[in-house]
Structure 1
């Protein structure tokens, strides 16, 4: 089984041309190809430094990257961006919100300079763009009625009990359900999943743990539902590990390498990591380490055996 992602593979209509897909490399801490930037007249990094600002593509998902009620760009990956770009002499980070499936195509069409959405590192995506050193890791959790009446703690529990599962359209958990032979209803947003469980239309809503914790907090839903302990899903004997990263054009290797140099300093420092992303609900459990801190490994699609 290949490595999945928090979102499903980008639709074929959005995939790059064959010539673009043929480009080698998947980013990572050592960068991609030897080019400096594909915009002509100097590297993208140099242009951003001269302008003093960078534009990032976002999907608007709390707690990763979104505009708050006052219109301010915020979120965990935005906080990391601001910390990194400040070190590079770029003090302003602006955001452009697009649909999830338009993030990589928009990046490659030069609508923005980077994707800042906690996008999981996936082999098919590594063919289309260059991923940075991993920023955050993901585990799955379940949203269930208060008291967890069906005692659901894993995807296998859902299958055994025949519980009515709901997943977000295109999310990794929908893929888990399919691979495990679990029937699932899909919804268009986390809020819809919450409503399905609250109304009794579903027994359980599966999503990433950090997303569910944030959802319950922001929607003040703690009196009716609860979030189970986070877990790494197991499918066909393989642990479904995953991590999100910033995404760059393959040609922008000088920007990628400079970003990686500063980002790695943050990720390798637990206290600094917590200081930057802690306000958004991220903990030491979400700090990349081991295989989840290895972009090339994640790009390869390998998955460790479940013990």
Structure 2
């Protein structure tokens, strides 16, 4: 992904009033809000917005003629509150489009479709593949705050005492590394990234994992910015699956198999 000579700012930036179009008319930046969740989104060494969701957002914004972009790095659970409070203008953290989120912000058209799995100790010694395996063996799991896997585990019947919520992926993987939990329940891309980066980790078989069906991911906007979101979607339509897109996202392990095809934001909001 192209590098932007920008420094990340913390999410305590004071809220600025007005819709995104008004900020642009005043020469302000477009603030991308994301958490450290590689390969979806993360800050580069220079503070620039990296990861394939940021890459897609930056490419599409540039197609729209916008290059004055400011990265805002925060924790996952603060992303939607930061958008609603006006501290960021777009959420590029790589969020599944689910009903609870649709009630709090508007999503772009889908930018990909993905599933979940477990990160487990190398070799998967306890043969964990599903939430039911946790129940049957009285084992524990951890997941970052705000991740759908927390609710999915509850829906599957995993006891509340067996599930730990932590601020982010770093803390979740640290718990697994130090033996304080048996599994980390996250999306398959983050799981694969973790296993690639640390030989003490493996991932369970995504094809055997029983949770949600493949979920679509979108970029979040305030409802007040509907016209900007629609213009973004227009530019996104020509971009999805293009050579430009694949050149941007492939370094962060996005494959053509992840393209959303005919899946829609509207259907995802209704279904989850």
Match runs of 1:129-140 below 5 Å: 129-140=105-116
Match of 1:204 in 2: 183
Match of 1:23 in 2: none
Report if the CA contact (8 A) 1:106-1:112 is conserved: yes
Report if the CA contact (8 A) 2:48-2:71 is conserved: no
Query: Is the counterpart of residue 247 in structure 1 residue 224 in structure 2?
Result: no
Report if the CA contact (8 A) 1:144-1:228 is conserved: yes
Report if the CA contact (8 A) 2:129-2:209 is conserved: no
**Counterpart Cα distance in 2 of 1:271 and 1:143:** 32
Match of 1:7 in 2: none
C-alpha distance after superposition, 1:14-49 (max 9, x if no partner): xxxxxxxxxxxxxxxxxxxxxxxx94xxx7447537
> Structure 1 residues 104 and 170, CA, compared in 2 at 3 Å: closer, same or farther?
closer
Match of 1:285 in 2: 257
Aligned-pair CA distance for 1:242:
1.9
C-alpha distance after superposition, 1:71-104 (max 9, x if no partner): 2221211111111011111123211223433323
C-alpha distance after superposition, 1:190-239 (max 9, x if no partner): 2333233333333222211111222233xx421x221223248545xxx4
Match of 1:300 in 2: 270
1:94 pairs with 66, 70, 81, which one?
70
Further displaced range: 44-53 or 80-89 = 44-53
CA RMSD of aligned residues (A): 2.6
Match of 1:114 in 2: 90
**Counterpart Cα distance in 2 of 1:188 and 1:250:** 27
Match of 2:246 in 1: 274
Match of 2:168 in 1: 189
Report if the CA contact (8 A) 2:107-2:219 is conserved: yes
Match of 2:203 in 1: 227
For structure 1, the 5+ residue unaligned runs are: 1-37, 303-307
> Structure 1 residues 175 and 194, CA, compared in 2 at 3 Å: closer, same or farther?
same
Aligned-pair CA distance for 1:128:
2.7
Query: Is the counterpart of residue 261 in structure 1 residue 239 in structure 2?
Result: no
Aligned-pair CA distance for 1:270:
6.1
**Counterpart Cα distance in 1 of 2:25 and 2:250:** 28
> Structure 1 residues 86 and 62, CA, compared in 2 at 3 Å: closer, same or farther?
same
For structure 2, the 5+ residue unaligned runs are: 1-16
Q: Secondary structure at the match of 2:125?
A: coil
**Counterpart Cα distance in 2 of 1:151 and 1:173:** 19
Q: TM-score, normalised by structure 2?
A: 0.81
**How many matched pairs?**
253
Aligned-pair CA distance for 1:129:
2.1
Report if the CA contact (8 A) 1:190-1:215 is conserved: no
Q: Secondary structure at the match of 1:174?
A: helix
